[in-house]
Amino acid sequence: MSHKILSTSPSFGYYASEPLDYLKQHGCEWELFPQGRKISEAELIERGKTLDALIVGMEEKITKAVLEAATKLKIVTKHGAGVDNIDIPAATERKIPVVSAPGANSDAVADLAIGLFISMARRIPLADRSVKQGKWPRMAGVQINGKVLGIIGLGQVGKKVAKRATGFDMKIFAYDVVKDEAYARKWGITYLSLEEVLGQADFLSIHIPLLPSTRGLIGDKQLRLMKKDAFLVNLSRGHIVDEQALYQALTEERLRGAALDVFSSEPPGDSPLLKLDHFISTPHMGGYTYEALRETGMICVRAIVDVLEGRRPETVINPEIYR
């Protein structure tokens, strides 16, 4: 008897085939929800009745109602790190393990952070558009070497951004509620308060989960603490940065530039930020490299097969169900 698996993630199985091969080798049937179409709670409830496992992305909400209807469901896996769209208490109540893939895409996200620093500092997107429009402007930028990098969230991604930044001889300050003093000493990182990091940074990189305590963490008050020539990059979650406050800071020239890979609403539609030349937007692609998607997918499918074959999977968010 084969097991039924549904993936509602827009990236699982579309870019790396190894996870699908693994499922096939272990007698599993799978369905990939079409890219570009959002699944509703009602459809999740209906489809969930026959599922043994569910692989989810970021936007679909795995609510208590969805979990209660999925009477055969044995595991929920997140094709990514954050699990803020999954009702963990409801899953725990039903003794359904929830597994995520923390750190699997950290190198990919860190690479993009550095790429955005350079793109903003050297105005690469604007330069590209100008040449393609038949112009040949003289565009002066700034160097990133020797500048101050501020990191909000020195977790797996933040640490790799810091490690890369040392190659540019950047001075690194970090803010985090949990401090890894040994790592900080090794890479010359100094922990400061949030306000001090904001005030010191020439480049600010945000890498924190979306929690009640971090929602709207960077608003008008915080942006006013930053240097006039500073650049901001957010690769974590859109709701952490107040986009209206960011727009005001950019239009009032209180920041030199900003780049967002995540937005409060995705896609961002007619956000006024998109009309600014000193703003860079990317489509939540931080973790989208072949290597990262392959590893994230393999973490998901290995966990699914472990559960279906009676083993405890790794990186369980709610390990109390095994007590």
Same domain, 181 and 263: yes
State the average pLDDT over residues 124-136: 97
DSSP string for residues in 82-146? --TTB-HHHHHHTT--EE--TTTTHHHHHHHHHHHHHHHHTTHHHHHHHHHTT----------TT
Same domain, 157 and 92: no
Alpha helices per DSSP H over 1-40: 18-25
User: Per residue, what are the HEC states of 306-322?
Assistant: HHHCCCCCCCECCHHHH
Same domain, 95 and 150: no
State the average pLDDT over residues 227-231: 97
State the average pLDDT over residues 164-179: 97
Total number of domains in the chain? 2
pLDDT at position 253 is 96
Which phi and psi (to 5°) does residue 7 adopt?
-110, 125
Lowest mean pLDDT among 14-23, 32-41, 221-230, 235-244: 32-41
284 is known as an active-site residue: yes
pLDDT at position 96 is 97
Tell me which of 3, 123, 237, 302 is the catalytic residue: 237
Same domain, 161 and 264: yes
Residue 51 predicted with pLDDT over 80? yes
122 is known as an active-site residue: no
Same domain, 204 and 56: no
Residue 162 predicted with pLDDT over 80? yes
46 is known as an active-site residue: no
Q: Which domain holds residue 132?
A: 106-281
The whole-chain average pLDDT of the chain stands at 95
Same domain, 54 and 94: yes
Place of tokens 């199985």: 13
Same domain, 114 and 99: no
pLDDT at position 323 is 84
Residue 37 predicted with pLDDT over 60? yes
State the average pLDDT over residues 40-57: 95
Which residues have a Cβ under 8 Å from the Cβ of 121 and sit 6 or more positions away? 141, 142, 143, 144, 203, 231, 257
State the average pLDDT over residues 82-101: 94
Same domain, 90 and 220: no
pLDDT at position 243 is 98
Same domain, 114 and 251: yes
State pLDDT tens for residues 13-25.
999 999 999 999 9
Same domain, 216 and 303: no
Helix 106-121 and helix 290-308, axial crossing angle in degrees, nearest 10: 160
Tell me which of 266, 291, 312, 314 is the catalytic residue: 266
Categorize the per-residue pLDDT at 135 as very low, low, confident or very high, splitting at 50, 70 and 90: very high
Residue 1 predicted with pLDDT over 60? no
Same domain, 163 and 307: no
d(CA 7, CA 27): 16
Same domain, 120 and 249: yes
CATH number for the domain spanning 25: value is 3.40.50.720
Tell me which of 3, 47, 123, 284 is the catalytic residue: 284
State the average pLDDT over residues 41-60: 94
State pLDDT tens for residues 259-295.
999 999 999 999 999 999 999 999 999 999 999 999 9
